[in-house]
Structure 1
């Protein structure tokens, strides 16, 4: 039986998935902020379910009554069990009306999730201790002895931007779980919050480490270049007969773009589209991205490093939708419709 777990994009939301990954197999993980993104992710999940039995688990996200009714109606002819575990009081009306909507505002969603699964499959001392740390910071128990460690964990997850989740959803959740497993190593230490804070940079480097030590930026770039190389067909685009790669909110576009182009000389240019509608253009060699930037978005800059603003860009949670907009822009501006 397939399990689809949709959760929030903070420490509490990811920790719910960390708990379910401990107890369950055959789980696909999805993450969302509130509002329309939930509908987008749920539509994607529901579209993947055929005639097989499945469970959709939603954690640390409160829904509107309209969303609850819509999801329930869409699933009425499928063999799917819907479960929601949450702690936001704004979901009280939904919890009163829908039997699959469980709400308890006295515990974090992670604590609810752990108590739910451990009652079925058995307790785990270390996992339970980690969930207590998340609980302390998420519902802001300032006098709880776990509170300070929870603050460090919360900041670490909020700052875990090294792998973009729109482009690399599976790798992103793998990285988040790696960090959480590392957090568990500090649970029994004196001044655990200080020890973890001191070690965080090294912990991050260890995830990206392959052969030789380097700066976190360079290790991260090498990792992302390898992931881009493994998915060249998905991320490649064309412009006037030249071949390029399109990324989204990749971060450090100059470093990653140059590293990718050096390692993959068959590509002429590198574009990073951002949620702020900006476009970063990079090349390595004779290809002039300043002319490309000028034609596509009235931008410009240097021959190998330019930028522009795509005013008509509509941000999306789906890479294919992002790529489609950039491809359409290229086709429109170059007349290659």
Structure 2
């Protein structure tokens, strides 16, 4: 198999991916950069090629989530376009998946991006500031397998920066918060520590919060169109498609369209609501709903001003959306694993996943 190891390693190629690729003879590794209708742009060891999925692949997929997505490592039949469009035959195992529910659907999943190491959740410090939406982003980001980082943009438009950071800290437990400004060349420097060869970062957030501006700064040139938030608090959709871009020796950046509405398929509420989860262990009943049960530690925390009613209501809402209503932490984790591996090798893969997670916790 012909590989340009330097370029592909910067692209995120790992030993595990190479090992899996050996199953497929006479095919080459590439990474999906963009998609336009039925044609994908795939980056290979020899540069970019246009590619389509094979007829067999199309026949065998069972849902939208199984098609190639931006960030996927795929097996293609060529590494240049000398013979026309390449053909994608397989999608390699994804180590992380940021997905949301398709608008207007109860079942369909839209894969936003895959194989991400760090998710930059961007929120501007003016009209876009919304703690409840942030909780939603964090819940999905933690569940994706990537590490979320909150990036506050347009700090130059905010007069109460410290107060805003304190508000966010109360709901973003264990998550780093970075403050940036579009008016200063140094406003994006704090992001660079997450950028190095082999790493993939994705920018997620509402339209107009400054994702494209930050990426242009990192790229060192204005490749992406930029616009701000309108006076009616609705962002202008300057990014209309998901796109993966290479940074020289700094890994990969994925830009995504603005997502004001973010439907939940799965969520990791034990991390995004770690404070409520911790309090729940002190409740009298293991299946306490934190509503009217006696000796409820969560309701006690609200009375004492430790926890807000709005945060608890947000927790209930997301729990219901993710179909975890009535489940405690252990039951939610079991349900998540069951959903993740349904139709993907079942319990064999689930047990393997659990062992991997236990090893990580034992570090």
User: Shared fold (TM-score greater than 0.5)?
Assistant: no
Point out the structure with the larger helix share. 1
Output the TM-score relative to the length of structure 2: 0.27
Output the TM-score relative to the length of structure 1: 0.28
Point out the structure with the larger strand share. 2
